[in-house]
């Protein structure tokens, strides 16, 4: 198996990192996650976020607000 598959992966964010990036509270990030606005990856009780998915969710919100 080639080792370059790791170079194509992105680091997963914690809710704290999403909150810092979006300038929202962690509680708001969790609420938006529960409401399905921000997609997440659940690993047992842990919740992680793909940065690209967070950006895409924000872009969808932005487009929705513009309509």
Ordered DSSP codes for 3-60: GGGGGG--PPBPHHHHHHHHT--HHHHHHHHHTTSS--EEETTEEEB-HHHHHHHHHH
Residues whose CB is less than 8 angstroms from the CB of residue 38 and which lie 6 or more positions away in sequence, other chains included: 18, 29, 32, 49, 53, 54, 57
Query: For position 67, what pLDDT does the model report?
Result: 63
The answer to the question of residue 6 being in a domain is: no
| pTM, to two decimals | 0.80
Tell whether 2 is covered by a domain: no
Q: How many domains does the chain have?
A: 1
Residue 4 domain-assigned (yes or no): no
Residue 56 lies in a domain: yes
Q: What is the tens place of the pLDDT at every residue in 5-64?
A: 555 577 999 999 999 999 999 999 999 999 999 999 999 999 999 999 999 999 998 888
Contact 10, 51 (CB under 8 A): yes
pLDDT of residue 6: 56
Q: Which domain covers residue 36, as residue numbers?
A: 12-66
């Amino acid at each position: 198996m080639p080792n370059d598959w790791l170079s194509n992966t992105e680091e997963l964010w914690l809710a704290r990192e999403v909150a810092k990036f979006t300038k929202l509270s962690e509680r708001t990030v969790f609420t938006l996650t529960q409401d399905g606005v921000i997609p997440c990856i659940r690993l047992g009780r842990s919740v992680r976020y793909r940065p690209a998915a967070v950006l895409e969710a924000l872009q969808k919100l932005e487009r929705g607000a513009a309509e």
